[in-house]
Amino acid sequence: MTFEAIQHKVRQWRVANLSEQNTVLILSVFVGSIAAMAAIVLKNMVHFTHQSLQRAFPETDFNYLYLAFPIIGIVLTVLIIRFFIKDDLSHGVSKVLYAISRKNGKLKLHHTYSSVLTSTLTVGFGGSVGLEAPICLTGSAIGSQLGGFFHLKNKSVILLTACGSTGAIAAIFNAPIAAIIFAIEVLMLDLTSQSLLPLLISAVTGTLLSYFFLGKSVMFNAIHSVPDFELGNLPFYALLGLFAGLLSVYFMRTTQSIEHRFTLIKKKWLKTAIGGVVLSGLIFMFPSFFGEGYDSIADILVGRSDSIFYNSPLYIFKYNDYTYLIFILALLLFKPLATAFTGVAGGVGGVFAPLLFIGGIAGFFIVSIFNVFFGMELSVINFTLAGMAGLMGSVMKAPLTAIFLIAEVSRGYQLFIPLIITTVISYIVFYPFEKYSIYTKSLALQGDLITHDKNKHALSKINVMSMIEDDFKTIPPHATIKDITLLIQDSNRNVFPVVDQHSLFYGVILLDDIRKLIFNPDMYTTSIKDYMYKPEININPEESMMSVVKKFKKSGYYNMPVIDADGKYYGFISRANVYTQYRDIVEEISED
């Protein structure tokens, strides 16, 4: 029996025995489980790669091998993508958002495994990016494929796509609440009673599997307790929020500027060479850039902050208070460069981990200034955690996700107030500079961003070409009133486009303008050009439906011709049909 035959029988059984909603609930368990296992496998593969590299060479020599390992990882990644995957794997979360917005949640089959393999090589060999975006894409692809296999409605496929991301994020961080908020805040999924339950199931499933295979704390298992915050320290958290907001702007502008400049380089091997060399140089100087960077943050949280100097040629900076702080500031300034060059060189990974790294170092930088130079005793743990939330919340435009994630991974629920203060101030500072998040900016500029606004969402799902009516009777420009009189007899329209043999559009004839003429034989020889007019506004077949609606509103037309840039006529779009389609989609989206 072929795969298609099995799939057909499964679909028949599902339709006969399970409702759409119950199918989604059952599949959310499998999606969460498979996505969680993919996350666990990825984490272990990267850990194994790190350990293998460190064991293979003496400790004293490992420093110089920082110059080689990142380039090797990037080259291996590029080769696999070029010869086997043959598709772009960058910007994993943005790809999920695009799939939800434009493809009804449908992702390619290779995304279920390709990002896991390539990000293992990139990050395992030292690429300065995170694993969260690749595993988010992987989990979403798993949900998308299962939804497609069971032939579910588009809305259900989108929900399962979000369930995949939720299960994966929950497994990586052991943070089910943050994972659900991530789906709502970052993936912009509408929160309804139908969507909440599958998300909860996937999040809990992912978390339980993570507990079983990785233990109760995935990131910071060395933290025994988080100190209570002191009310008098709130102004310092506000200052940290201000600093985090400025760093967020710096991170966003720096990474996107480098990415834009590298688009001007057409030779891929040159991008890999330049990016790989710069990345290796940065990691050689700052070994804490090697990989995700969570180990450095974990060391800071347990009082081993000197580890950020290990294997660095700048190790002597630790012996002086001023150079110590200069080194920490250098980490903040150069980490965005390391992340950006990893991506433009061809590596696969995301900005999730780099943001947490920079945020943690930012908090440590602020607390070090006050503790060292002003003799204060501010909590290193609390400020490091608050900084992580501040950077993540602003750059990702996901303050709730950041707050709950840090609270869950650190089990520091007593820090909600300082986490909120730091994150909100960072967000407020960041917003005037950047309207969109790092995940949505490119999509928004291209008009491909889905939003929580149901009106915009509905219009984004209407394709201009699908709304074109081409059953209008056309008439050539050299025709007479007699010709159009004969044409009217066979038409149920009152608009007649004037089009030549090459489909070039000249204008339209309205029945109301010639109604009296068709009953006057003396006017039959008159050219129709005398009664033709060309609409001031028309529709291009490539523009968005949002633009079309604005044109209808501005012009007051009931019908508008669709004409491309070369003047070729396609047909007409009716305002009534657009609004009917819009209402149908809004009703579908709003169904609970």
pLDDT band for position 188 (50/70/90)? confident
- What was the pLDDT predicted at 217? 57
Higher pLDDT, 536 or 139: 139
How large is the average pLDDT for residues 419-448?
92
pLDDT at 213 over 80: yes
pLDDT at 448 over 90: no
- What was the pLDDT predicted at 394? 97
537, 552 contact by CB (below 8 A)? no
394-426 pLDDT tens trace: 999 999 999 999 999 988 788 999 999 999 999
pTM for the full predicted model = 0.86
pLDDT at 5 over 80: no
Contacts of 217 (CB under 8 A, 6+ apart): 174, 223, 409, 411
pLDDT at 155 over 70: yes
pLDDT at 4 over 80: no
- What was the pLDDT predicted at 332? 97
pLDDT band for position 525 (50/70/90)? confident
- What was the pLDDT predicted at 317? 87
24-64 pLDDT tens trace: 999 999 999 999 999 999 999 998 998 888 776 655 555 78
Provide the CA 39 distance to its chain's centre, in angstroms. 18
- What was the pLDDT predicted at 450? 67
How large is the average pLDDT for residues 210-231?
74
pLDDT at 8 over 70: yes
Name the range with the highest mean pLDDT among 98-112, 327-341, 435-449, 482-496. Answer: 327-341
Mean pLDDT of the chain: 90
- What was the pLDDT predicted at 453? 63
Domains and CATH numbers, the chain: 3-214 (1.10.3080.10), 231-446 (1.10.3080.10), 456-590 (3.10.580.10)
258-317 pLDDT tens trace: 999 999 998 999 999 999 999 999 999 999 999 999 999 999 998 889 989 988 888 888
Burial grade of 26 (CB within 10 A; 0-12, 13-18, 19 or more): middle
For the stretch 98-101, contacts whose Cβ atoms lie closer than 8 Å and that sit 24 or more positions apart, written own/partner, are: 98/443, 98/448, 99/140, 99/144, 99/161, 100/158, 100/161, 100/162, 100/187, 100/188, 100/189, 100/450, 101/443, 101/448, 101/449, 101/450, 101/460
Q: Which residues face 572 on adjacent strands?
A: 469, 561
For residue 350, is it left (φ>0), alpha (ψ between -120 and 50) or beta?
A: beta
According to DSSP, residue 226 is labeled: P
59-84 pLDDT tens trace: 555 578 889 999 999 999 999 999 99
Contacts of 216 (CB under 8 A, 6+ apart): 174
Alpha-carbon gap, residue 354 to 421, rounded angstroms: 22
Alpha-carbon gap, residue 235 to 343, rounded angstroms: 37
